[in-house]
């Protein structure tokens, strides 16, 4: 078993966690491979680019938190093998275990005692007037929101070529089931089980309280555009990164990606358990 390792160097204790993980994996017969940034963080030469992990490792381990996992999606590229998040701190929605459970993780990986949760990805294509289109992949969500203006903006959403609504709001979120526990939830969107074949449009602070989240089939195509020439450029973001200015006349096409993200889950761990823990649900 070859395990590729990525790490967030800004996390406290990330270096000691990296060393401990390698020691635990190698003690169980696993080979570890560092990406270039992890090798640099460890003070080593070598390492390989994370986007070459697909042909080099069986499992990727990401040391950090949920945000590090989102960044890892971009770094790994077309990687359709299990990805494990090891949270340096408390357990997150995307992480498989914490840094106190490295031996448990290493044993499970070396003995193939784990499950994979298949997560839908979004593919967003930005079409600009007079410029080449750009495509992006999101695990959680894409967002089109107001830029420098301090007031509400006008946005149009279409579904499969049909007008859904013209919104007056701070912005719109299109989220996957995975992203339903992130920004969309903070904006009042619903919780969605990871295996559900849907995604959700959630307005951010809409002018009218009747403008609610809408859950769509994952074979839908959503198109977003700015309808307010006076508000200046809006900001398009993918999983909280890749900030791009969107001008009136530009449009964003969002649909299900042909790729998937395989989230590694240890035995006995589940999305519902994470909900109970993170949202502090308690029985009566």
pLDDT of residue 172: 97
Active site residue 13: no
Q: Which ranges in the chain belong to alpha helices (H)?
A: 14-27, 36-41, 66-76, 102-110, 183-186, 271-278
Q: Which of 3.40.50.300, 3.20.20.60, 3.30.420.40, 3.40.50.10330 is the CATH number of 2-112?
A: 3.40.50.10330
Pick from 89, 93, 96, 50: nearest CA to 73: 50
pLDDT of residue 61: 98
* Whole-angstrom Cα Rg for the chain: 20
Domain assignments of the chain as residue spans, ordered by start: 2-112, 121-258
Q: Is 211 helix (H, G, I), strand (E, B) or coil?
A: coil
pLDDT of residue 241: 87
d(CA 237, CA 53): 26
pLDDT of residue 269: 87
Whole-number Cα distances in Å, 149 to 161, 186, 231, 243: 29, 21, 6, 16
* CATH fourth-level superfamily of 121-258: Probable inorganic polyphosphate/atp-NAD kinase; domain 2 (2.60.200.30)
- Out of 35, 51, 58, 66, which one is annotated catalytic? 66
d(CA 37, CA 47): 8
Any known ligand binding at 13? no
Any known ligand binding at 140? yes
Low-confidence residues in the chain, pLDDT < 50 = none
Any known ligand binding at 67? yes
Any known ligand binding at 123? no
pLDDT of residue 284: 57
């Amino acid at each position: 078993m070859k395990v590729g390792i990525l790490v967030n160097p800004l996390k406290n204790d990330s270096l000691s966690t990296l060393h401990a993980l390698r020691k635990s994996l190698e003690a169980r017969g696993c080979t570890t491979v560092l990406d270039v940034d992890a090798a640099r963080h460890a003070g080593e030469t070598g390492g390989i680019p994370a986007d070459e992990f697909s042909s080099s490792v069986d499992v990727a381990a990401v040391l950090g938190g949920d945000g590090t996992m989102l960044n890892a999606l971009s770094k790994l590229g077309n990687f359709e093998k299990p990805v494990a998040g090891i949270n340096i701190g408390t357990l997150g929605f995307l992480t498989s275990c914490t840094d106190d459970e490295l031996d448990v993780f290493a044993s499970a990986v070396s003995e193939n005692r784990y499950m994979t949760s298949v997560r839908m990805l979004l593919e967003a294509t930005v079409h600009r007037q007079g410029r080449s289109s750009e495509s992006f992949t999101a695990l959680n969500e894409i967002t089109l929101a107001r830029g420098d203006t301090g007031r509400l903006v006008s946005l149009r959403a279409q579904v499969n070529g049909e007008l859904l609504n013209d919104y007056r709001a701070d912005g719109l979120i299109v989220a996957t089931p995975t992203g339903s526990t992130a920004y969309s939830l903070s904006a009042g969107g619903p919780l969605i089980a990871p295996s559900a074949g849907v995604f959700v449009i959630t307005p951010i602070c809409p002018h009218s309280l009747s403008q609610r989240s809408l859950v769509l089939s994952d074979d839908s195509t959503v198109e977003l555009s700015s309808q307010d020439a006076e508000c200046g450029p809006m900001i398009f973001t993918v999983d909280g990164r890749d900030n791009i200015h969107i001008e009136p006349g530009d449009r964003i096409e969002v649909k299900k990606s042909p790729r998937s993200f395989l989230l590694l889950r240890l035995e006995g761990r589940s999305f519902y358990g994470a909900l109970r823990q993170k949202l502090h649900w308690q029985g009566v």
